[in-house]
Structure 1
Amino acid sequence: MEPALQKRIIPEKLFYKIGEVSEIAHVESYVLRYWESEFPFLKPRKNKAGQRVYTKNNLELILQIKNLLYNEKYTIAGVKEKFKNDSLKKKTVGIETIEEIKKKLKGILKILK
């Protein structure tokens, strides 16, 4: 398995600079900047000095993107489509969960009346 996909020890920090992310993910900084332009869901914040600061969530996304592109041989368009579909599935599951919670709450209200 690719080293970036194994359970890597990622230092517990609030934010990571681009050099740290590059080192952890084994991806050059210019590749990370390119991915930011291609994947709208990968948008690191910028600090007061204008430097990119990545969250742990950003880092996990980068590792997923790297796996899809380099190991599973997806294209950029394929990665975009996969994340779009995964996002839609999560939203659908979220809506179903909300509906289940509503039903349970209505049942509780009936019991309380």
Structure 2
Amino acid sequence: MKTIRTILLAGAMLLSANAFAQQYGPKDEGRRFNDGSKVVCKNVEVQRSSKDSNRILGTATGAVVGGLLGNQVGKGNGKKVATVGGAVAGGLIGRKVQGDSQERKGDRVVERRCERVYR
């Protein structure tokens, strides 16, 4: 019982610390503090309302199609190598195609995020 109370207390302390964390925006970029830290901003890609944020469907579909196409090439061990190579290449292409589609639809956007950096 004592362990559970300790865990709950630690969790509450973490939540309260995060509630008071300072948020910085692009207007704060370059701001310096007395402790030598400053606010640094950078562009990051952010996922918005996408059901398949890891692009699994595009990767899997591309891998299957690429594997089937690769299987049509060669004989013996060459056929196996072509199948695996086709699956890998198809997976990469499928992932890229899905990512481009999500970007066009606005599912993936670039945002400016700022944080305090201690040096």
| TM-score (normalizing by structure 1) | 0.30
- Which structure is higher in helix share? 1
Q: Which has the larger share of strand?
A: 2
The structure, 1 or 2, with the larger RCO (C-alpha pairs under 8 Å, 6+ apart) is 2
